[in-house]
Amino acid sequence: MENGRRACAAMGTAHDGDDCMARMKPYVAAMLAMCLMIIGNGCTMRIGQKAPGAIGVIDVDGTAASVQPGGDAEAETRAPKTPKPEATPDPNVGLPLQPTLSPDADASAGTTPDPNVGLPLYPTPDPNKPMVALTFDDGPSKNTTRILDVLEQYGARATFFVVGTQLEKFQEITKRASELGCEIGNHTYNHKNLTKISPDEIQEQINSLNALILTATGKEVTLVRLPYGAGIKDKTVKANVPYPLIMWTIDTLDWSTRDTESTLKAIRQEVKDGSIILMHDLYEATAAAAETIVPELIAQGYQLVTVSEMFAAKGIPLEAGNYYRNAFGQ
């Protein structure tokens, strides 16, 4: 109580001690209540000291300070919360991952049309460059495959004058030859000398093989090579074989020698622009010769083409009943 009176005196109150104490009671009560509120925090508040939690300050003159924001946990709970903005959905979520293309990458890669699609497998012969026609008689046979392999490897073509009895055994080989751009000509069904048989037999020799070739290749025959070259001037033969008759410029005699080097020598000694070269694809030695001569002739600048292609490039028409030994243009 004595302390209370001293406080009254300090405030310069003109009333007596009892009146001063009476007026001090509300403030003292407020102070006690304040202390009780903060005792839980283990703190003792004195006049003029800010309590932990910053809920308020009592000035020495007894005036209660305002409550500081954030000091009252209950007030914090009551304060309205600013709603967080909802995340915008990612339009790519759930979609397959796409590769990232660099600025220089071609977005149309893999869809660019192939400029070679739809073009012929082999180009048309250039009439301004030399060319020769390799021809093979009496096949097909197992050795024909080796010849086709080298022709395909170098983009070359040849003409095969097939025999019916062989075609019946190797139809797939003939089909492949045709698909590679090679020409399939008629060499009769079973290689008979047409000058020694009747007109009906001549026609049978030609027509039966034509049917086999059509079945194997889907193409009609346009050229004939007579067995042994016999009958090119025979009126009966020419009357019953209404096709151009193809002879040869170089006879390699491979059917006789069956020797690779002899075959190569014959070609090397006589070949020139417009030559028709005769070989036989029945023999291993001939297949081996082809594997050498094809790249060799190409290296020398020759185009290896079919008989029909060479004559067309040279501007020489092929007419039924006429025979042709070369395309020299004479």
Chain mean pLDDT for the chain: 78
Cα torsion 150, 153, 155, 158 to 10°: value is 20
Q: What is the pLDDT of residues 40-68, one digit of tens each?
A: 444 344 434 444 444 443 343 434 444 34
pLDDT band at 123 (very low <50, low <70, confident <90, very high): confident
- pLDDT of 103 strictly over 60: no
| Amino acid occupying residue 216 | A
What kind of fold does domain 131-324 have according to CATH? TIM Barrel (3.20.20)
Q: In which residue are the tokens 């000091």 written?
A: 71
In the chain, what percentage of residues exceed pLDDT 70?
Answer: 63
Considering 138, 187, 280, 281, which one is annotated as catalytic?
280
- pLDDT of 13 strictly over 50: no
pLDDT attached to residue 14? 42
Question: Between 102 and 182, where is the model more confident?
Answer: 182
pLDDT band at 25 (very low <50, low <70, confident <90, very high): low
pLDDT attached to residue 329? 73
Helices assigned H by DSSP within 160-303: 164-167, 171-179, 199-217, 235-240, 254-257, 260-270, 284-299
Maximum mean pLDDT: which of 7-11, 122-126, 236-240? 236-240
Average the pLDDT over 116-131 and give the result: 73
Q: What is the pLDDT of residues 219-245, one digit of tens each?
A: 999 999 999 999 999 999 999 999 999
Identify the bridge partners of residue 134 per DSSP, sorted by sequence position.
277
Task: Determine the Cα–Cα distance for residues 129 and 301; give it in Å rounded to an integer.
Answer: 8
CB atoms near residue 17 (< 10 Å): 15
280 is catalytic: yes
pLDDT attached to residue 31? 64
Angle at which helices 199-217 and 171-179 cross, to 10°: 70
How far is CA 80 from each of CA 69, 75, 77, 83, 89, rounded to the nearest angstrom?
13, 10, 8, 9, 27
Q: What is the pLDDT of residues 276-313, one digit of tens each?
A: 999 999 999 999 999 999 999 999 999 999 999 999 99
* CATH 3.20.20.370 domain range(s) in the chain: 131-324
- Which residues lie closer than 8 Å to 250 by C-beta, 6 or more apart? 266, 267, 270, 271, 275, 276, 277, 278
Q: What is the pLDDT of residues 140-156, one digit of tens each?
A: 999 999 999 999 999 99
- pLDDT of 323 strictly over 50: yes
Contact (CB, 8 A) for 263 and 257: yes
Question: Between 283 and 39, where is the model more confident?
Answer: 283
Q: Is the dihedral of CA 43, 46, 49, 53 positive or negative?
A: positive
Query: From its phi and psi, is residue 307 left (phi > 0), alpha (psi between -120 and 50) or beta?
Result: alpha
Average the pLDDT over 110-139 and give the result: 74
Average the pLDDT over 71-95 and give the result: 47
Contact (CB, 8 A) for 48 and 57: yes
- pLDDT of 207 strictly over 50: yes
Average the pLDDT over 261-266 and give the result: 98
Average the pLDDT over 89-101 and give the result: 45
pLDDT attached to residue 77? 40
Q: In which residue are the tokens 């983009």 written?
A: 155
Lowest-confidence range among 85-89, 120-124, 303-307?
A: 85-89
Task: Determine the Cα–Cα distance for residues 99 and 123; give it in Å rounded to an integer.
Answer: 40
Q: In which residue are the tokens 């903005």 written?
A: 85
DSSP 3-state assignment of 322?
Answer: coil
Angle at which helices 284-299 and 260-270 cross, to 10°: 30
Considering 137, 138, 254, 281, which one is annotated as catalytic?
137
